[in-house]
């Protein structure tokens, strides 16, 4: 077991999969000679050459379309968006081409490609560069949507995503690239569509993904000091969604808090809450609570930006309301 940052774990996953399968290649803005905008692809151009690490123009719709075509012909492209805010330029290729080609061809084509890059807010990047779009992609049949929260998960999930025969939207928290944690030695993968119970508990179930997971764990540790035991579920994949793990936890705790950074209206978090209320009403001792981001564009000012997302303290207050 070693300690790596999420950035280093992702880099290792890319290198291992490119070494294992010559059909895997990386394409995107600044992925090669600049070593990646966030240095996730550091050293890959030198190791694998320009045929497999391809710098593109600033043309997301164009290189996403190239990736769809390459995947339909048997290659395994990893398409990096410098940020998922820029994926809006390529959304037609992601949702209308990648997600639907296998279905519309009655299985004659498979689409083994990964769209990956950073998502969510960081620090003072403003309204156009701070958005969480996981719910938009999770809304679309034909895509798998993955959001890791630890270095170990990031590496194992990315390796599985690259090997998957369906298109995967792999969303990394830009704010967490430098977060460090243990990563196993040797070969391993983590299956898509399986949640991870990061902390066991019996009083309240906390459900989240990506960078809200450390906040949930922080809140759970503080609440445990007063005898409140929270079960913390890191979904890791929100499409397909691991309902079995969630349902088992709800049967045990009878109270649920869902935490996300995305805007509240029509969000994944509210969909999760709705389904739990509909399918598991008899197990609930209180209404499900959802903590989402504020319903407005992300501000630039530090003091306003700090108010946009639920903190560990906000989570603790919500848990106390549930109890």
CATH number at residue 36: 3.40.50.970
Do residue 104 and residue 173 come from a single domain? yes
Question: For the whole model, what pTM was predicted?
Answer: 0.96
**225 lies in which domain range?**
196-322
Question: Tens place of pLDDT for every residue, the chain, 323 residues?
Answer: 899 999 999 999 999 999 999 999 999 999 999 999 999 999 999 999 999 999 999 999 999 999 999 999 999 999 999 999 999 999 999 999 999 999 999 999 999 999 999 999 888 889 999 999 999 999 999 999 999 999 999 999 999 999 999 999 999 999 999 999 999 999 999 999 999 999 999 999 999 999 999 999 999 999 999 999 999 999 999 999 999 999 999 999 999 999 999 999 999 999 999 999 999 999 999 999 999 999 999 999 999 999 999 999 999 999 999 99
Report the interhelical angle of 312-322 vs 212-224 (nearest 10°).
Answer: 60
188 found inside a domain: no
Do residue 179 and residue 244 come from a single domain? no
125 found inside a domain: yes
CATH number at residue 256: 3.40.50.920
In degrees to the nearest 10, what's the CA dihedral of 51, 88, 168, 153? Answer: 100
| Cβ contact 116:79 at 8 Å | yes
Task: Indicate the residue among 183, 205, 221 that finishes a domain.
Answer: 183
| Cβ contact 196:165 at 8 Å | no
Q: Which residues are catalytic?
A: 60, 129
Do residue 163 and residue 205 come from a single domain? no
Do residue 164 and residue 248 come from a single domain? no
Task: Indicate the residue among 135, 154, 183 that finishes a domain.
Answer: 183
Task: Indicate the residue among 183, 218, 237 that finishes a domain.
Answer: 183
CB atoms within 10 A of CB 37: 18
189 found inside a domain: no
pLDDT given at position 150: 98
Our count of domains for the chain comes to 2
**Model confidence pLDDT, tens digit, residues 215-252:** 999 999 999 999 999 999 999 999 999 999 999 999 99
Do residue 151 and residue 240 come from a single domain? no
SS (H, E, C) the chain: CEEEEHHHHHHHHHHHHHHHCCCEEEEECCCCCCCCCCCCCCCHHHHHCCCCEEECCCCHHHHHHHHHHHHHCCCEEEEECCCCCHHHHHHHHHHHHHCCHHHHCCCCCCCCCEEEEEECCCCCCCCCCCCCCHHHHHCCCCCEEECCCCHHHHHHHHHHHHHCCCCEEEEEEHHHCCCEEEECCCCCCCCCCCCEEEECCCCEEEEECCCHHHHHHHHHHHHHCCCCCEEEEECCEEECCCHHHHHHHHHHHCCEEEECCCCCCCCHHHHHHHHHHHHCHHHCCCCCEEECCCCCCCCCCHHHHCCCCCCHHHHHHHHHHHC
């Amino acid at each position: 077991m070693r300690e790596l940052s999420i950035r280093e774990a992702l880099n290792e996953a890319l290198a291992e999969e490119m070494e294992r399968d010559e059909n895997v290649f990386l394409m995107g803005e600044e992925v090669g000679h600049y070593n990646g905008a966030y240095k996730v692809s550091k050293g890959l151009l030198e190791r694998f050459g320009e045929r497999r690490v391809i710098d593109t123009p600033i043309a997301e719709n164009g290189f996403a379309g190239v990736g769809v075509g390459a995947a339909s012909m048997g290659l395994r492209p990893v398409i990096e968006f410098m940020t998922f805010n820029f994926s809006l330029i390529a959304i037609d290729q992601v949702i209308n081409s990648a997600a639907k080609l296998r279905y519309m061809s009655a299985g004659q084509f498979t689409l083994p490609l990964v769209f990956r890059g950073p998502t969510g807010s960081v620090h003072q990047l403003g309204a156009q560069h701070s958005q969480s779009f996981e719910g938009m992609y999770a809304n679309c049949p034909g895509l798998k949507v993955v959001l890791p929260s630890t270095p170990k998960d990031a590496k194992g999930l990315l390796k599985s995503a690259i090997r998957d025969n369906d298109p995967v939207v792999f969303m990394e928290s830009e704010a967490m690239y430098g977060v460090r944690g243990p990563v196993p030695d040797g070969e391993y993968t983590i299956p898509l569509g399986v949640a991870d119970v990061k902390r066991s508990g019996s009083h309240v179930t906390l459900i989240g993904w990506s960078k809200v997971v450390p906040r949930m764990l922080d809140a759970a540790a503080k609440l445990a000091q007063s005898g409140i035991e929270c079960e913390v579920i890191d979904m890791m994949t929100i499409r397909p969604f691991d309902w079995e793990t969630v349902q088992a936890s709800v049967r045990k705790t009878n109270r649920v808090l869902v935490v996300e950074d995305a805007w509240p209206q029509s969000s994944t978090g509210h969909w999760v809450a709705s389904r739990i209320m509909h399918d598991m009403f008899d197990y609930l001792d209180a209404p499900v609570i959802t903590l989402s981001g504020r319903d407005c564009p992300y501000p630039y000012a530090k003091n306003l930006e700090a108010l946009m997302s639920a903190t560990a303290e906000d989570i603790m207050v919500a848990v106390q309301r549930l109890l």
